[in-house]
Structure 1
Amino acid sequence: MNLIKDNGSWDTDKLAEVFTAEAIQYIMSIKPPTQGDIADSCYWRWTSKHDFELKSAYNKQVELTWEIANPIWNTIWSLQVPQRIRFFLWLSCRQKIMTNSERYKRSIAVDPSCPICHENEETTLHVLRDCNVISQSWLKIIPPSLLNDFFTFPISEWLKQNLESKLVIPGWNIPWNIFFASFLWHTWKNRNDFIFSQVSSSPDSTLAKSITWARYYHEGWQIQKPNTIANVTQSCWQHLEPGWLCLNVDGSVSSSSGCASIGGLLRDHLGNWIFGFNKSIGKSNILQTELWAIYIGLQLAWSHGAEVLQIQSDSKQAIQLIQDFSKISKALPLIRAINEIRIQGWMTEFHWTSREGNKPADILAKMANISDYNTITFATPPVELLQALAKDSTAPSNMF
């Protein structure tokens, strides 16, 4: 049975005779084979270039174990402190630092009690907050707004509240969360120096050291900030040079159903509407959806007679993959199909645009009927786009 129509698209009626509706949704997201296609090959979906990296495999394996979705991990790993302190905080949150309690569980200590106060089991929270020595130091420095609940929260909530705090310590000009992390780290180090090397530090010296290093972390980060990428986004679409046409494309994947749809629009260098389109492509991932949007958009622009075309997408990954001529990229059917269209008798170039600058394409993609696999074209702008197009009409000239 031939499941492909004469025009090269899937024959949904014949597919329905063989496959379930859910299976058809996955098939529709795959480009139908053509006579000149090369054999399929394996590629790795967890990297942008689709070549295998051990790091990506490891990250995928430990993804659920590390509870990446837990907001506290994002807070810890983005904190403006050295990596060794972030790692220490992560271990503390998981209650895995080598306290006597933990060492006792692993049969490398004979007594789980605190070697300083000798009153309680030496747990993570006892070491960092509740031991008499450290609790007296905390009472001297806790901001009044945090004092009520400071000694009542369990370890994860306690760390979360303090590491996410936006308070700045009066007189020191240091964010509380940076000082908090620094003080925990130096408290832990000094405690180990005393227990294992009999080197003692007074609470005041520990506090002074924590303040000094916290200020260093904070000021060092502030110096580095101007080096970060700035002005990489625009608030709206930008006019092109005369003679150019602009194809904006986007893809949308439903988080609940996994169904994907694409949309795009072609306009002249001033932003005047030429045509728009949308289409459902079944169930797909976001990268494949973005590539489908580019492929269908290029087909329509070519059939319309475009000669000089700029393609704008808010997917850096899709653009990089198309412009990468490695063996991996060439093995992907959609990449090959896109490049075959591009080498025809016209000039095409790709530019990344922000989500805000790509708003009309996003709206068109989300308007698609997920049960209709036909490409729908719009000779005039749908009402839902008028506000976004009006905003783009006041755009500045293109500064690429």
Structure 2
Amino acid sequence: MGALTSTSRCILVICQRLLHENYNVWNIDKVRNLFSEDVAKRILETPLVSSVHEDKVVWEEERNECYSVKSGYKLAMCYIIGNDTYHVAGNWNGIWKAQVPHKTHHLLWRLCRGCLPTRYRNVWNIDKVRNLFSEDVAKRILETPLVSSVHEDKVVWEEERNECYSVKSGYKLAMCYIIGNDTYHVAGNWNGIWKAQVPHKTHHLLWRLCRGCLPTRYRLLERRLECTLNCPVCDEEIEDELHIFFRCAVARDSWCAAGLSSVLHNAAYQQINAMDRIFAVCSNESNDTAGRVTMLLWCIWHNRNDKLWNDNVQMPRQIGRYVFDAWNDWYSVHKLQSNSVSGTTEADLVRWEKPVLGWVKCNVDVAFVSGSGRTSVELCFRDNSCQFMVGKTQWRQTVISSVEGEA
């Protein structure tokens, strides 16, 4: 039956009096007189409330309007397949293509859908898993914990094999985070600092200086630590990195006494902060000159601390002389050691080798003290994991040859 137009509905509402006295039966004569034959026919075919004698449940999926299990299952499957909530991602085609009986396909489907029944919920059915999969795959499946099999939560530190926190692994993790975080990165020629020919303690001083970690009085005030701001050496200006190393009168005289005044007054090294000046010196000067400058900065800082804590201050010429002698001594020893190491071949090096599992190795050495008539013996025992077990030393009032001692 066709639907009424909006105009017909309006006319129908206005003409409610066309209904019979019992109200729920059309007044056929009035309807036919008011509307055309086609519209009147459609109106009269429209059932009114009282003409529907009894409400009933209708199942639209069957022709006879009665529910059946088959049609209900089909409707449920259409809903489940079209709903992402019930979708399980995976290689389902691989399951259906497996060359196995259909009942095995069904079992795999139930397993992947989480429908495989067990006696207890969330516990693997060991027999069925081992029958379905290879030994290696079954082992990995059974090792996977289920929710109810985890009786108690615990804190696990994944950086250690024993899952327990250690300061060493915590430090490594923190360093990886800091190095990979641009927030803590300071741009500059850091390779030039590390290549400077100086002792390691002076490298550390430059690193602290360029990272803004040197505890000058101005830096301490920035960290909300109340203190006087005047330089403890000259007591004239505010002590910051630029003043204590480059502008203080004692520091400038120390540069001249160390023979580095040309570097101090070089127009290329007049940046507004100490960090940029140091990076520029390490980039443009040779490793030797950069090493002398670094040693001078360390001596200036050492003199400042000596004045602050011990009230002992050195003259600029003393600082300059110490820089010259200390760097030359270090460089001579370092160069001698480098030549000695480079002249040693790999074949000349004797390395200790650990014993096999279940064995203990004993290393013995002897020492001869000329003129004493004594021979000392040392013993050291280690296991196959290189762990020290026990050691012993003793001496005897006898003299043996080196051949006997090394035998």
TM-score after normalising by structure 2: 0.40
Higher relative CO (Cα under 8 Å, sequence separation at least 6) belongs to 1
TM-score after normalising by structure 1: 0.41
**Which has more strand, going by share of residues?**
1
**Which has more helix, going by share of residues?**
2
Higher radius of gyration, 1 or 2? 2
